[in-house]
Amino acid sequence: MCKFHLCAVLSVFAFCSALFADQVVLKNGDRLTGTITKSDDKTLLIKTEFAGEVTVQWPAVQEINSTQPLHVALTNGKTIAGPVTTADGSLAVTTAANGTVTVTKADVTGLRSDAEQTAYEKSLHPGLMQGWAGGANVGFALTGGNSDTRSLALAFTADRKTSNDEIALYENTVYATNEAAGATPSTTANSNQAGARYSRNFNPRLFGFVGADFQTNALQDLNLRTVLGGGLGYHAIKTAKTTLDFLVGPNYTREDYDTVTNNFVALTLGEQLSHKLGASTVLTQSLYLFPDLSDTGQYRATFNFGSVTKLSKWLGWQNAFSEIYVTNPPAATPPLKKNDIILTTGLNFSFTH
């Protein structure tokens, strides 16, 4: 008798558990019971009690019956919320304000639970300290014995993207010395680059930007180069794996050398490429040309190429190469070269906030 009562109680609990859970029925007849978390037009994620999170293909979904309210995003940009059931191939959403609203499966771009909807809405308007991704690269080398050298290479990038705008920061430093007796020059490299750019989308393709770039180079007698500019950009390619942007606009440049100071207005012409190679490597490349508008025979050009390969969630290997070319370095003895190259490589410590 006791065993009978125990079985009856367990049966009631199992029935109630299924009654107050979401259910997804696939076209092949398989049935999943749990809590629907989210879906888009490709996949649906449901959290089950014994199998954990299960992802199924959205086209394979035949029926949905949710006891919890789901936020249903539609192709017209609107979102309706309420428990969802399936009838005649369409979704019936029992809303609090408008009663039952029926939409076709083709009209649905996404389903989100209350928690997922809250996270989605926060992602549209994140705080300034949220949404950052990037990392720092550190490399150090020294020699002894017949040679006595020291070198330090640092590289830093940070990027914060939302659906409407983007903030990008960068910094590269190379410092090297030759400590051998009589070595001339004793400092063999002392170059720094840093900058920031803010971009805001006007539509899916067109955006505006403002930016500031700074550079010092002791071996080129450059105390500080400041470039302040802005303009318009165009997203030629914008996919999950690849982005390609073209930019144009004016800039104000000030160059402070040991012997001369230059102030002029120039043009910014540039392109930026980012491509995700495989599951763990990201390649970045940019090329900029800055023609002097007051002296059209003079210009400056910059080229940057970098890669980051993830070794773990927070550790990776980073390479950064940059070259800066100027047509008119100041007169000096011996003559200063027109181009400078920076190459850094080493461990990358990534962060996400």
Average pLDDT per 10 consecutive residues for the chain, totaling 353 residues = 46 45 90 91 88 89 91 90 87 90 89 88 76 83 78 88 88 87 78 94 94 92 95 93 95 94 95 92 94 90 92 87 88 82 84 70
End-to-end CA distance of the chain: 59
Pick the last residue of a domain from 124, 153, 173: 124
- Looking at the fold, whether 250 and 115 belong to one and the same domain comes out as no
DSSP letters spanning 129-186: TSSEEEEEEEEEEEE-TT--EEEEEEEEEEEEE-SSEEEEEEEEEEEEEE-STT-SSS
- Show Cβ contacts of residue 187 under 8 Å, excluding neighbours closer than 6 positions: 175, 176, 177, 178, 218, 219
Q: Are residues 99 and 203 in the same domain?
A: no
Q: Residue 279: what pLDDT?
A: 82
For residues 162 and 203, state if they share a domain.
yes
Do both 46 and 145 map to the same domain? Answer: no
- The pLDDT score that the predictor gives to residue 17 is 42
If asked whether residues 262 and 246 sit together in one domain, one would say yes
Whether 286 and 153 map to the same domain: the answer is yes
Q: What is the C-alpha to C-alpha distance for residues 281 and 110, in angstroms, rounded to an integer?
A: 29
> What local confidence, expressed as pLDDT, does residue 337 receive?
85
User: In the prediction, which pLDDT does 77 show?
Assistant: 85
The residue out of 72, 102, 124 marking a domain boundary is: 124
Identify the pLDDT of residue 15: 43
* CB neighbour list of residue 293: distance below 8 Å, 6 or more residues apart: 250, 264, 265, 266, 267
Looking at the fold, whether 255 and 189 belong to one and the same domain comes out as yes
- Total number of domains constituting the chain: 2
DSSP bridge partners of 346 = 318
Cα 111 to Cα 140: distance, rounded to the nearest angstrom? 50
The reply to whether 119 and 236 lie within a common domain is: no
User: Containing domain of residue 239, as a range?
Assistant: 132-352
Amino acid 271: pLDDT = 97
Q: Are residues 65 and 18 in the same domain?
A: yes
Report pLDDT for 14: 42
Same domain, 177 and 54: no
Query: Which one, of 79, 88, 87, 89, lies nearest residue 111 by Cα?
Result: 79
The CATH number for 322's domain is 2.40.230.20
Say yes or no: 257 and 120 in one domain.
no
User: Which residue, of 73, 102, 124, is where some domain finishes?
Assistant: 124
**Is residue 57 located within the same domain as residue 90?**
yes
